[in-house]
């Protein structure tokens, strides 16, 4: 790094660092918008998804109101890779926006560091690398250790001359904006392609699998999920067997609406710090966390995974597990599961409601012929979905390349090479 740069503790660069608020459930008309970690996507603020509206005190409306230039940081999450993810609040909107108590607000001192410069740094490989050492686990959540987070050093150009430092920061921001503008366009196009791909799969499923409420073919019937599959609760504590090797799938093992089974992820028990659910090739894994993400796995190997995976074991005399997995991926099933979810910040499907969801079964009174028809449906969907799976794999690869490019550009900026 250029010799005129110097490390400054983050705490010395801030005017304010505080936790957010939550309040009681409300609606858009009466409540105040509260941004959560789910509104942070790829290190940027994303308001296209669900925004929480809460009834909060007048004091919090004043003290927790986000101002242009504030940075929101995820400090608690069930997904370790999301800890420390930050977004710059730069919304040109007269509405009041607050931030949740599972996030932290940083308000930079503009005389020392520009908000966009700090956000770019926190998003860079250098800024993200230090996050690995700043987690701790409580009650299944990963938490950012704020005291250690504030101790991290931020590279500041010419720190002994504030005015010159700000000028250099402006030049760095300008260069990054130039380099990343086309990258942002590519991300927007990529996001649209992913959405179009997922909608194509929705159409395939709707073509083959009937929606019970819209009528069933002759001879078909329905059975609640609880009568077709049991919930397996074989839990394991991997750290009790630190030298054993496990195939571990967290919720990030697959992307939204992914059809293909994830690749094995073999790690030692000592690396898995929480209780896990075990599964076998007899099971179907269903993510109860944020059910709208439509994450279902039909494993072909043994393994362990996050307790957010509900492990269903289908009755092989009544239903094929591949058939059940495809039903679980249908738009109507996702909507029913999402509609029953609880928890505003991290919505989870209600398992008692899931048990009662009616699953369409062909020739319900003739199990042998029913299984044969299910096999035909699975084969038909699989054939239709080959192109979708190929596109999803391409999308995932494109996402990795976009991230690598972005990180390479940011790394150069904060190494004095840009």
Q: How many CB atoms lie within 10 A of CB 167?
A: 12
CB 248 within 8 A of CB 267: yes
The predicted pLDDT at position 83 comes to 86
The predicted pLDDT at position 213 comes to 85
Domains of the chain: 5-156 (3.90.220.20), 196-386 (3.90.220.20)
Alpha-carbon distance of 70 to 116, in angstroms, equals: 9
Q: 177: which 2 tokens?
A: 């904006």
The predicted pLDDT at position 1 comes to 44
Query: At CA 307, angle to CA 392 and CA 303, rounded to 5?
Result: 65
pTM of the model: 0.65
Q: With both helix axes pointing from N to C terminus, report the angle between 162-208 and 367-413 in degrees, rounded to the nearest 10.
A: 170
**Residue length of the chain:** 418
Alpha-carbon distance of 286 to 303, in angstroms, equals: 14
Q: 216: which 2 tokens?
A: 């069933």
CB 262 within 8 A of CB 319: no
Q: Is 179 exposed, middle or buried (0-12, 13-18, 19+ CB in 10 A)?
A: middle
pLDDT by position in tens, the chain (length 418): 445 888 999 999 999 999 999 989 888 888 999 999 888 988 889 887 678 899 999 999 999 999 999 999 999 876 677 888 999 999 887 889 999 999 999 999 999 999 999 999 999 998 888 776 665 554 446 788 899 999 999 999 998 999 999 999 999 999 999 888 877 788 788 888 888 888 888 898 999 999 988 889 999 999 999 999 999 989 999 989 999 999 999 888 888 888 889 999 999 998 887 889 999 999 999 999 889 999 999 999 999 999 999 999 999 999 999 999 999 999 999 999 998 888 766 789 999 999 999 999 999 999 999 999 999 999 999 988 888 878 888 888 888 888 888 889 888 888 777 6
Cα dist from 53 to 33, 87, 99, 100, whole Å: 5, 19, 11, 11
The predicted pLDDT at position 138 comes to 45
Alpha-carbon distance of 45 to 21, in angstroms, equals: 18
Instruction: Give kind and range of the element (H or E) at residue 389.
Output: helix 367-413
CB 229 within 8 A of CB 314: yes
């Amino acid at each position: 790094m250029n010799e005129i740069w110097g490390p400054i503790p983050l705490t010395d660069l801030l005017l304010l660092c505080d936790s957010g608020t939550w309040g009681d459930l409300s609606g858009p008309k009466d409540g105040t918008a509260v941004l959560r970690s789910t509104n942070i996507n790829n290190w940027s603020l994303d308001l296209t998804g669900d925004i929480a509206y809460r009834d909060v005190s007048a004091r919090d409306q004043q003290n927790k109101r986000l101002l242009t230039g504030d940075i929101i940081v995820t400090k608690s999450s069930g997904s370790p890779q999301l800890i420390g993810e930050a977004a710059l609040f730069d919304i040109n909107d007269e509405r009041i926006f607050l931030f949740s108590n599972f996030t932290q607000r940083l308000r930079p001192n503009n005389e020392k560091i520009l908000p966009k410069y700090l956000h770019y740094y926190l998003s860079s490989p250098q800024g993200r690398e230090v996050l690995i050492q700043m987690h701790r686990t409580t009650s299944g959540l990963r938490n950012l250790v704020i005291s250690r987070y504030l101790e991290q050093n931020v590279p500041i150009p010419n720190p002994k001359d504030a005015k010159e430092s700000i000028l250099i920061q402006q030049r760095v921001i300008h260069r990054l904006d130039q380099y990343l503008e086309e990258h942002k366009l590519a991300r927007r196009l990529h996001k649209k392609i992913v959405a179009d791909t997922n909608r194509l799969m929705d159409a395939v499923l709707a073509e083959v699998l009937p929606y019970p409420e819209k009528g069933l073919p002759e001879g078909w019937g329905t059975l609640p999920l609880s009568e077709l599959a049991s919930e397996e609760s074989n839990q394991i504590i991997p750290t009790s067997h630190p030298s054993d090797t496990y195939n571990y799938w967290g919720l990030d093992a697959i992307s939204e609406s992914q059809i293909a089974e994830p690749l094995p992820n073999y790690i030692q028990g000592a690396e898995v710090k929480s209780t896990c659910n075990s599964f076998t090739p007899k099971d179907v894994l269903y993510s109860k966390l944020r059910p709208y993400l439509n994450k279902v796995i039909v494993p072909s190997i043994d393994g362990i995974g996050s307790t957010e995976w509900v492990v269903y074991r289908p009755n092989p005399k009544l239903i094929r597990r591949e058939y059940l997995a495809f039903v679980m991926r249908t738009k109507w099933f996702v909507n029913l599961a999402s509609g029953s979810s609880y928890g505003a910040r991290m919505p989870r499907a209600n398992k008692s409601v899931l048990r009662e969801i009616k699953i369409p079964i062909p020739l319900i009174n003739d199990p042998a012929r029913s299984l044969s028809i299910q096999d035909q449906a699975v084969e038909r969907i699989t054939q239709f979905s080959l192109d979708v799976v190929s596109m999803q794999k391409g999308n995932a690869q494109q996402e990795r390349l976009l991230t690598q490019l972005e990180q390479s550009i940011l790394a150069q900026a904060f190494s004095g090479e840009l």
